Chains A and B, each alone.
Chain A
Amino acid sequence: MSIAAVRSTTGKKRLLHPLPLRIMHWINALAIFIMIGSGWRIYNDDVLFGWLHFPDFLVIGKWAQYGLQWHFFGMWIFVINGIVYVTYGIVTGRFRQKLFPISMREVVATVADALRFRLSHENLTVYNAVQKILYLGVMMIGVIIVISGLCLWKPVQFSELSGLFYNFQTIRLIHFLCMSAIVGFVLIHVTLAVLVPQSLVAMLIGGPTVGATFTAEAQPPPAAKHGRINS
């Protein structure tokens, strides 16, 4: 479906973050909080790395079985919400409009600007190349953590899937590394939300009004995109 087609079918104005998207974002935040806290409790029962134990005040569940109960409760929220979110992102065209295209030239320029603290935050409605990569990346990690989680939960029932991994401990390691990547993402994401508070406000009340393409209407056409990075 072309951009023109999207315009013609969904021409009405809307907020940068429409209500369903904000609801899904905060449900996801809650689900990730539950999954990571309980996951650390489960990890502590049989650690992958002798030097790493998560302190009791950071974990969810007094005992491992309570951690497991939380984990197998949170998984439903995370997976169901995630499926609805991805479907929404694809069907409304939001992903394609906000996360693509990504050019290497733009990535280099954005990183250079970031290192010189010259990133612009005036227009919340357009993501820079590093944001695009991080958002796409964390979504892919989300898919892998669900697949590896399914393989840990049901290595025999889903043996066709779990057989793709070397062995059971490898699946645990991949699940753990995905968790680490998500924790890294959350740290960056929350830090930037605090540094640019209007982005946090936008995720609470919706942000600026945008056109059908989810970008601000005053936005220059795609050909002039590079100009916004440090303007």
Chain B
Amino acid sequence: MPIPIRTSSIFRPQNPVDRSAIRHSRALVDNFNRRQVMRGALSLAALTLLTGCDVSEEDSVQNALRAVSSWNDAVQAAIFRPDHLAPTFSPSQVVKPPRFNAYYDVEDVRPIDGEAWKLELAGLIEDKRPWTAQHIYQLAEQELIIRHICVEGWDYIGQWSGPNLRAFLARIGADLTAKYVYFICNDDFTESIDMASALHPQTILATKYAGQLISDPFGYPLRLRTAVKLGYKNAKWIKAIEVTNTFRETFWSKQGENWFAGI
């Protein structure tokens, strides 16, 4: 069945997919199905494999550990308190500048041209017209002085402001009953969060840090900042947002980091 190409979007290829790509990706597709089977099935294999005590990252061990990680996603979603607020702090406690984190060094940041930049929208959204930075700056701002906690163990208190994500999603007519909000970033980074966390009152699309426009290394012109996720879930340099019911692995979850990553 041919796939109709409705609009030009970074989510849709400009040219049709080469049939050979499907053959080449067969192994990947099969692997994905196996993963689905593993998902949610906390198998006894995890326990029996342990007695091998090789303690290596072999495929079978990895699959078992990933199954547990998926189970932990479900547990975290179950204990998530949608209206429970994270502690906030005073402006005097704010660290300036914020601490840099990415999968590469700060010198390798590719700055975005804010004039040409547009935020694309896709998926279960009624009004998919792209947004310019100027349009976003006109939205009501919310300020969060919250603790950033990195999965590595460090933390700092930061002062972020920008439109509340729930208000933004409501404004663009997003389906708030969908499961995921997916972010595509300028540095080929992808990240997604569950809808409950997206709708949490302390989740914003940050445009400013400590009252100033966010500087290049920290996600200019637009980044996610939520009080209920680990640092790596806070996508920087966002160029597109998709609301979807389809789970897709993200940059870090593909590497074995926990997907839900709630705090």
Contact = CB atoms under 8 A, between A and B. Distances in A.
B65 interface: yes
Interface residues of B, number: 35
A163 B69 CA distance: 27
B50 A30 contact: yes
B262 A157 contact: yes
Interface residues on A, range: 20 to 34
A182 B50 CA distance: 22
B8 interface: no
B89 to A, nearest CB: 10
B263 A65 contact: no
Contacts of A155: 147, 149, 263
Contact of A45 (B46, B81, B152): B152
A168 B69 contact: no
Secondary structure dominating the interface of B = loop
Given A46-B152, A70-B65, A157-B79, A60 B46 contact: no
Secondary structure dominating the interface of A = helix
A216 interface: no
B152 A154 contact: no
Which residue, A43, A48, A64, A163, has most C-beta atoms of chain B within 10 A? A64
A37 B54 CA distance: 13
B66 interface: yes
Contacts of B149: 155, 168
Contact of A46 (B76, B81, B154, B252): B154
20 contacts: A30-B50, A45-B153, A46-B150, A46-B154, A62-B57, A66-B62, A66-B65, A68-B151, A69-B65, A69-B69, A69-B258, A72-B68, A72-B72, A154-B76, A155-B149, A155-B263, A156-B84, A157-B79, A157-B262, A159-B87
